[in-house]
Amino acid sequence: MVESFRTTATPKPASMNPIQAARAAGQQVWLDNLSRALINEGLLARHIENGVAGVTTNPAIFHKAIADGHDYRPALDALNGENLSAEQRYERLVIEDVQRACDLIRPVFDASQGDAGYVSLEVSPALADDEAGTVAAARRLRAAVARDNLLVKIPATAAGVRAIETLTGEGVSINVTLMFSLGHVDAVAGAYQRGLDKLAAAGGDVSRVRSVASVFLSRWDSLIDKQLEEIGSDAALALRGQAGVALARQAYQRYLARFHGAGFAALTAKGARPQSMLWASTGTKNTAYSDLMYVEPLIGAETVNTLPDATLAAFADHGQVRAGTVTEDVDGAAAHIAALAALGLDLEVLGERLQQDGLAQFATAFGKLLELTA
């Protein structure tokens, strides 16, 4: 076990809310949502005032925003008069939202010297297996948004990992999405480090690059619980509801070993930032479990947790913050993964399945999104 951060209670003033307390414990809380209504009605600004330090988006989020929101109708009507494809219309809409969100949260970016205050925008899901297409799209979106605090979102497919290395080498800040296994964690971290090495060798400023690696959690327990229930033994049923947290705790140990170890020291000396672990898919899907089961046990230094609206509201209302919970019982996390393996559940194989399922879901949402902008 690699242990660089000590678990301690986090005293906080009575005026400090749980989001701010998490930040004091080293974890940034980001909002997993963005819409024109959130911006226009001042809700995003209030979230930022309450301590939210970033924003993430995906095709499903934008589909819901545009389908449900009257705020987009005037802009869509105006775009219909231009000779644009459905995807170009979509990008015009969401780039404006992302630019406005970047500007709203820019003071957080400035105050943290580029550690926090980011907004993520994803490349088209159709490019998941297209390395060259991903690189070109990331360059284009970065130029179009033209904000220092943009993270281009790229999936951790084999092609995506190669694109991440290339883009990091060009100084592009990236949110790596759809990570489901320790194999994904290692591949993505390696690509980031190699990209930084290339940037440094070319005389680039590695300190200006920010990256987060998004490990999806709730989908694990949805899948694993179903398989454990099919097995049906008492031993199997006792393992339900723990896979997501166990995987995250193991991933964080990999993070500590790589980015706080000797292998990253030369880049650290040049001002490079570690690639932060980001906990994604953190809304609890099984109502029998705690609504904060992917939040309270995973607070750790240099981490990010991106929360959908309901989970953010729950955390702000009754979240309990204790620093370093992500480093608690890491031996138990390893034992849990081993127990699943003993039952025939291979998390690397299942991780690939979950990634493909996630890509399919985003592709479907993106297709429906383009129907709205056609």
DSSP β-bridge partners for residue 55:
31, 119
Residue 26: inside a domain: yes
Which residue range forms the structural domain that includes residue 27?
Answer: 18-373
Tens digit of pLDDT at every position of the chain (374 positions) = 444 433 344 444 557 999 999 999 999 999 999 999 999 999 999 999 999 999 999 999 999 999 987 899 999 989 988 999 999 999 999 999 999 999 999 999 999 999 999 999 999 999 999 999 999 999 999 999 999 999 999 999 999 999 999 999 999 999 999 999 999 999 999 999 999 999 999 999 999 999 999 999 999 999 999 999 999 999 999 999 999 999 999 999 999 999 999 999 999 999 999 999 999 999 999 999 999 999 999 999 999 999 999 999 999 999 999 999 999 999 999 999 999 999 999 999 999 999 999 999 999 999 999 999 98
Residue 351 lies in a domain: yes
Residue 3 is assigned to a structural domain of this protein: no
Contact predicate 350/169, CB 8 Å: no
Name residues whose C-beta falls within 8 Å of residue 63's C-beta, 6 or more positions apart in sequence. Answer: 365, 366, 368, 369, 372
The total number of residues shown for the chain amounts to 374
Total of domains in the chain = 1
Q: Give dist(CA 340, CA 346) in Å, integer.
A: 7
DSSP-based three-state secondary structure for 271: coil
8 domain-assigned: no
Going along 264-360, which residue ranges are E strands?
276-280, 303-307
pTM of the model: 0.94
Residue 5 lies in a domain: no
Taking each continuous run of H as one helix and of E as one strand, the counts in the chain are 16, 8
Active site residues: 153
Segment 152-174, tens digit of pLDDT: 999 999 999 999 999 999 999 99
Could you tell me if residue 270 is inside a domain? Answer: yes
CATH number for position 140 = 3.20.20.70
Q: Which pLDDT does position 65 carry in this prediction?
A: 94
Give the helix ranges, DSSP H, for 149-287. 158-169, 182-201, 218-231, 234-237, 243-259, 265-269
Residue 38 counted as domain residue: yes
Helix (H, G, I), strand (E, B) or coil at 190: helix
Q: Does 2 map to a domain?
A: no
